Structure 1
Amino acid sequence: MARNRDPKCRQCRREGEKLFLKGEKCFTDKCAFERRSYAPGQHGQNSGRRLSGYGQQLRAKQKIRRIYGVLENQFRRIYAEAERRKGQTGENLLQLLEGRLDSVAYRMGFGASRAEARQLVRHNGVLVNGKRVNIPSYLVRPGDVIELTERARKQLRVQAALKSAQERGFPEWVEVNVEEGKGVFKAYPMRSELSPTLNEQVVVELYSR
Structure 2
Amino acid sequence: MARNRQPILKKCRALGIEPMILGVNKTSKRGFRPNANKKPTEYAVQLREKQKARFIYNVMENQFRKLYEEATRKDGVTGLVLVEFLERRLENVVYRLGFAKTRRQARQIVSHGHIAVNRRRVNIASYRVKVGDVISVIENSKNIEIIKEAIEGATVPAWLELDRAAFAGKVLQNPTKEDLDFDLDEALIVEFYSR
TM-score (normalised: structure 1): 0.88
**Residue of structure 2 equivalent to 1:7:** 7
Letter in 2 for 1:4: N
- Give 1:194 shift: 2.1
**Residue of structure 2 equivalent to 1:42:** none
Equivalent pair of 1:126/1:133 in contact (CA under 8 Å): yes
Show structure 1 runs of 5+ residues with no match: 39-44
The one-character-per-residue Cα deviations of 1:123-155 (angstroms, maximum 9, x if unpaired) are: 010000000110000110000000001222111
- Give 1:196 shift: 6.2
The one-character-per-residue Cα deviations of 1:82-136 (angstroms, maximum 9, x if unpaired) are: 1111000000000000001001111001111111111011001000000011000
CA gap 1:172/1:37 in 2 versus in 1, 3 angstroms: farther
**Residue of structure 1 equivalent to 2:96:** 107
Q: Could you tell me the percent identity over the aligned residues?
A: 41
Q: Distance in 1 between matches of 2:56 and 2:22?
A: 11
**Residue of structure 1 equivalent to 2:43:** 54
Q: 20, 30, 36: which is aligned to 1:36?
A: 30
**Residue of structure 2 equivalent to 1:76:** 65
**Residue of structure 1 equivalent to 2:184:** 198
The one-character-per-residue Cα deviations of 1:59-103 (angstroms, maximum 9, x if unpaired) are: 000000011000000100111111111000000000000001001
| 1:95 and 2:89 correspond | no
Letter in 2 for 1:82: A
Q: How many residues align?
A: 194
Q: Distance in 2 between matches of 1:3 and 1:18?
A: 22
CA gap 1:77/1:20 in 2 versus in 1, 3 angstroms: farther
**Residue of structure 2 equivalent to 1:18:** 18
* Cα RMSD for the two superposed structures: 1.5
CA gap 1:20/1:71 in 2 versus in 1, 3 angstroms: farther
Query: What pairs up with 1:38-187 in 2 under 5 angstroms?
Result: 38=32, 45=33, 47-48=35-36, 49-165=38-154, 169-187=155-173
CA gap 1:75/1:46 in 2 versus in 1, 3 angstroms: closer
Equivalent pair of 1:20/1:67 in contact (CA under 8 Å): no
Show structure 2 runs of 5+ residues with no match: none
- Give 1:22 shift: 5.5
TM-score (normalised: structure 2): 0.94
The one-character-per-residue Cα deviations of 1:170-199 (angstroms, maximum 9, x if unpaired) are: 100100011211000111112222256201
Letter in 1 for 2:83: L
Q: Distance in 1 between matches of 2:125 and 2:19?
A: 19
Q: Distance in 1 between matches of 2:22 and 2:69?
A: 29
Letter in 1 for 2:131: P
- Give the ranges of 4+ consecutive aligned residues of structure 1 lying more than 4 Å apart after TM superposition: none
